[in-house]
Amino acid sequence: MKWNDPDSGGSPDESARTPDCHVADLTKVLVVGRSQINRVVVAKIVERSGLKTISEAPDTAVAMLRTMAPGTIILDGGIDNRDCDGLMASIMSLRQASGTNLPSVILLSNKAGTPESLSLPSAIDIVVAKPITPERLQPVVDRLVGRA
């Protein structure tokens, strides 16, 4: 299925595109992390907001980003916030191709702070401190999707 199909909920004028001209679907969230358990927990929280999730390990997520453009990406940074660093160039390419700040990026971190205070890449929009709970993550996801 192509993400630029008319039934996907977005139009080319209001969504991001992948380099292959797939239109971002703001109802889709890519959840990336090394821990499958964490990905499942995060996906279940996100699905409470009525969004669809795709779960990938960091090494397979790069290939997924080449074929689809999610409206939001949630990265589990792991112990040192660097587990998903390999995705940053692809995320920035999507943003440049779209001319917007889409996809929005949330980093799940062991440390509380802002992207700036934690010296994180500019692709990170918001940091959510672990442990991840619905009360912490769901309002952030809802706010980002509403802003997009």
Q: How confident is the model over 126-147, as pLDDT tens digits?
A: 999 999 999 999 999 999 887 7
Distances (CA, A) of 111 to 16, 26, 31, 43, 67: 30, 28, 19, 21, 32
DSSP-based three-state secondary structure for 40: helix
148 band by pLDDT with thresholds 50, 70 and 90: low
Q: What is the pLDDT of residues 99-114, one digit of tens each?
A: 888 899 999 999 998 8
Predicted TM-score of the model (pTM): 0.84
pLDDT at 19 over 80: no
Bigger pLDDT: 57 or 9?
57
Q: Report yes or no: 46 and 31 within 8 Å, Cβ to Cβ.
A: yes
**pLDDT at position 60:** 95
Rounded Cα distance between 148 and 1, Å, is 23
List, in sequence order, every residue forming a beta bridge with 108; answer none if it has no partner: 76, 128
- Residue 52, amino acid: K
